[in-house]
Amino acid sequence: MPRITKEDKARNRQNILDAAGRMFRSQGIDAVGVAELMKEAGLTHGGFYNHFASKNDLAVEVCGASFAASLGGLARAVEDGPGESGSPLERVVAGYLSAAHRDAEDGGCPSASLVVDAGRHSEAVQSAYADGVEGYLSGFAAEFQREAEEDGRDLDPAEARQRAVRLLSELVGAVVISRAVRHVQPELSDEILQAGRSHALD
C-alpha cells in the first residue's frame, strides 16, 4: 500500500476544509454528518480523525477560513478604490445584497450563512465567528473614516464604529430574511434586497 506523503495529507485536509465550508454554509453545521462530508471530500469516513479531533474543531477552522476568504473580498474592494461602479463600500453592499449572493449554492458569506449556527455551537465556534465580525467592522469603520477624510470631514472613530455595526447588521439581516422568504414570496425577497442596496449607506 503506497505511503501517504505530507503533501497528500495536507491536500486531503484542505479538501475536507473546502467541502465542509461549502456544506456547513449551505446546509448548517448540524445537518452535515461526518460520513457525508468525507464522501463530498472524496475520502473515506475513517480518515476524518487523522485530520481533526472533532467536528467542532473542524467547524472552528471552517468559520475562520470562510471569513478570511470573505474579508479578502472586502480588502480587494478597498484596494481597488472608487470606480465606475461606485465606492468600495457601495460595491460591497451591491454584491452582498445581490440575488447571486442570496442564492449562492455554497451559502456565500459566513456572516449570514453561519449566523444561527454560531450562536448554537461551542464558544470556540462563537469566537471564530466573532473574530470574523470584528474583521468586517474594522474594515468598514476604516473605510468610513477614509471616505470622510477624502471629503475633508472629521469622523470620530466611535461614530465610524457605530456606522460599521449598523451596516453589517443591515447586510446580514437583509440576506437572512430574503433567504427565508425567497421560495414562497420571491417578490418580497427581492424587495428586501433592493431596499438594503438603496439605503444601507444612508
pLDDT tens readout for residues 24-48: 999 999 999 999 999 999 999 888 9
Q: What is the mean pLDDT of the chain?
A: 95
Residue 1 has pLDDT above 70, yes or no: no
Condensed to tens digits (0 to 9), the pLDDT of residues 108-131 reads 999 999 999 999 999 999 999 999
Confirm whether 152 is domain-assigned: yes
The answer to whether residue 59 is domain-embedded is: yes
CA 5 to chain centre: 32
CATH number of the structural domain spanning residue 194: 1.10.357.10
Residue 176 lies in a domain: yes
Q: Is residue 85 part of a domain?
A: yes
Q: Is 148 part of any domain? A: yes
Number of domains, the chain: 1
Domain that holds residue 103: 55-199
Percent of residues, the chain, with pLDDT higher than 90: 91
Instruction: Indicate the length of the chain as a whole number.
Output: 202
Spatial distance between the Cα atoms of 99 and 168, rounded to a whole number of angstroms: 18
C-alpha cell at 126: 462563537
Would you state the pLDDT for residue 2? 59
CA distance linking residue 113 with residue 126, whole number of Å: 14
Residue 18 included in any domain: no
Does 166 map to a domain?
yes
